[in-house]
Homo-oligomer: A and B are copies of this chain.
């Protein structure tokens, strides 16, 4: 099988892969229309009804209420109601697709339409790995995880809080996090949102890296916020919108709804509520700055009926991934939903079943930006080192599935039958030889050897193989070097801000 050429390719494979992996997914297959027209209209009608009749609370940010009043909203105390259709209309100035630039132009992504972008887990305070067990995340973990993500071709985006660096003061850690993504990664990433000043720091650092002029017309950083479901938006969200969208940067808004707690217990009702909340914030972003990138999100979790705990990877959120995709496309804005979600504490079978079903529906549903696409454990409380590389391996498989089926001359391979008779075999025929290197997805963590070979190699389970893989990726970490002058300027900014900001742990 052309061993010399194959060996030559293998020798360069790491380097080549990093260079040639597509920076995001260009979907080649139809969207799956799970819910029919009548059902979709009912959900849209319910969202309009919520916005008009019940309204959304906008709390702790008088400026936000002022913006709403000026736009002609019905504002009573902190309750904001819009006439039917107004939220939808305001969303129309948001781009249906946009580009988020990275400092490495080869890693720049396109978000929206038929483009899909996968990013790692966001927000857990804990980490777990096979040897170290479960513990609070530290800045050392944070840096390692950013480095690992930078080496995984199926993660197109670096996210932000891949784990909380709990050993750094809360008031300052955003500076170190943003810097780490800029220095040790070269994919696009998010900025901080927990306080207005932290969002401003993130945008200021992006200005140092990308230039103020460039950012006036191009998205290089985004904030990711949750509404306070049900039907409440606090100032974290409205201030993030003012900072990010005010600078013409992006905002991702994902209502997090545990059905039966933060939304009605029926799935249709929770989807409609999430859609109403996200559309309302989308409308707000466009009042702040028409044309600023906005991603409509949905994060619906079901419930364990015995314990009341949130569950993940269950059929109800699977359905919601598919349906919110339909609603976002009808509204004409990019979508965030799903991820490789699980309630499992370990990277075991439960974790994998739940993550796969959650992520397959996310991929099919057309999510344009997928946070938590890899590394999530324990309902989002814990980042798993092994889980990160395991999920990423499967993301590559979804990427192939989204690429469609080639039915061209080579795909149909009639020439193979010139060489192979019935009852023969195709192992050495020309069609096989010229296609075998690219015919099938090369899953790094699936062991397909027979049981004897597998036992000879130590009977390793998936988690053990994943442990070895992330260590190898970490050892071989390499990204496009950060420009030295910019690096210095970033470090100077951080030093100055750290001197100004008092240590705080909340």
Q: Which residues of A are in contact with B by a Cβ distance under 8 Å?
A: 29-30, 32-36, 38-39, 42-43, 46, 49-50, 54-57, 59, 79, 134, 228, 230-232, 259-269, 272, 302-307, 309-316, 318-319, 323, 343-357, 360-361, 364, 378-379, 381-382, 390, 394, 397-401, 404-407, 410-414, 416-417, 420, 422-427, 431-432, 435-437, 439-443, 445-451, 454, 459, 461-463, 466
Contacts and interface: CB of A to CB of B under 8 A. Distances in A.
A311 B56 CA distance: 51
Contact of A316 (B30, B441, B449, B466): B441
B311 A448 contact: yes
A497 B261 CA distance: 63
A451 B261 contact: no
Contact of A412 (B268, B349, B355, B448): B268
Contact of A346 (B425, B449, B450, B461): B461
Can you tell how many copies of this chain the complex includes? Answer: 2
B57 A304 contact: no
Given A54-B417, A360-B360, A266 B29 contact: no
23 contacts: A39-B407, A43-B412, A59-B423, A231-B422, A261-B425, A262-B425, A264-B416, A265-B426, A265-B432, A266-B431, A266-B435, A305-B440, A305-B442, A309-B448, A311-B446, A316-B441, A319-B405, A344-B462, A349-B351, A353-B394, A357-B360, A360-B361, A382-B451
A77 to B, nearest CB: 11
B311 A443 contact: yes
B268 A411 contact: yes
> Top 4 A-B pairs ranked by shortest CB distance?
A352-B352, A356-B356, A231-B422, A315-B400
Contact of A268 (B310, B354, B406): B406
Contacts of A401: 315, 318-319
Most B C-beta atoms less than 10 A away, residue of A43, A46, A319, A446: A446
B343 A352 contact: no
Contacts of A364: 32, 364
B268 A42 contact: no
Contacts of A39: 405, 407
A265 B426 CA distance: 8
A204 B305 CA distance: 47
A422 B266 contact: no
A50 B352 contact: no
A446 B317 CA distance: 15
Given A39-B405, A269-B416, 7 more contacts: A35-B405, A39-B407, A305-B436, A318-B397, A319-B405, A353-B390, A356-B357
A431 B264 contact: yes
A20 to B, nearest CB: 17
A30 B33 contact: yes
Contact of A440 (B303, B343, B378): B303
A34 to B, nearest CB: 6
A506 B417 CA distance: 34
A266 to B, nearest CB: 5
A389 to B, nearest CB: 11
Contact of A265 (B34, B79, B264, B435): B435
Contacts of A378: 450-451
